[in-house]
Amino acid sequence: PTEQVLAGKTVTITAGPTREALDPVRFITNHSSGKMGFSLAEAAKALGASVNLIAGPVSLNTPTGITRIDVESAEQMQQAALEYAVQSDIFIGCAAVADYRAATVAEQKIKKQGDEITLTLVKNPDIIATVAALKQSRPYTVGFAAETQNVAEYAQGKLVNKGLDMICANDVSDSTGGFNSDNNTLTLYWKKDRLELPHSSKKELALTVMQAIAEKIK
Ligand code: PMT
């Protein structure tokens, strides 16, 4: 049996992509499947935590004994994240949140027009930076950074700029890991520490990540 190192702790995790509407039938999104975030939720539960899983549109079954909150857009994810973060000991942002959304969502289906069409996008709120900046009831805040190049440098930049306690640098430069794969390549960074993990399944990595967090908050 797995040692219950997260007994009595509440963990909130975001997972999957967000979906930003353009009109009633179209949207902008990305290739996140939710597998990494759902694996983290399962691992946290196995270690004894009470788990809230805020999920963008994914086609995965809810792990047993977990509270799942379904959302679509980044703004909806932000609202749910803040509501649950303040009740949590640990917040993990594993979702691939769209950085931009359409400036206006057309009420009717956009009709085919000339040879070019211009889409104006505006910035979405940074969910995890908002959680990390909480003045009261701030959870231990863990981000992910999906990078195709300069993985260590970009991930450490996000750790500092977003005010996080820890970041999981995710090398997504090839198909052996990252978006939609069952496996992954992660290196964990703290301000003064790092832990390179062997390439392995998202399920195994999730357990290692949750155990590393439990060790840090002890
Ligand atoms: O879902 P899978 O198919 O299993 O794939 C897993 C994954 C590759 C999506 C996951 O492991 C991962 O790396 N997630 C982060 C994806 C990402 O692109 O992050 P980012 O570098 O854009 O953002 C950095 C951090 O800020 C993340 O914790 C993200 O959740 C958060 N963020 C980003 C933008 C935004 N507006 N709000 C946020 O909170």
Q: Are strands 140-147 and 121-123 parallel, antiparallel or unpaired?
A: unpaired
Nearest CA to ligand 1 atom 27: 144
Active site residue 30: yes
What pLDDT, in 10s, does the model give residues 41-76? 999 999 999 999 999 999 999 999 999 999 999 999
DSSP lists the bridge partners of residue 188 as 168, 195
Structure-token pair, residue 103:
């400036």
**Which of 128, 181, 213 gets mutated to test ligand 1 (max ligand atoms within 8 A of its CB)?**
128
CB 92 near ligand 1, within 6 Å: no
What pLDDT, in 10s, does the model give residues 126-138? 999 999 999 999 9
pTM over 0.90: yes
Instruction: Tell me the C-alpha distance between 105 and 82, whole Å.
Output: 24
ipTM field: 0.99
Domain boundaries, the chain: 10-105+116-217
| Share of residues in the chain with pLDDT > 70 (%) | 100
- Residue 88 in contact with residue 49, Cβ under 8 Å? no
- Residue 135 in contact with residue 126, Cβ under 8 Å? no
Q: Which sign does the torsion angle of CA 3, 4, 5, 11 carry?
A: positive
Q: Under CATH, what is the fold of the domain 10-105+116-217?
A: Rossmann fold (3.40.50)
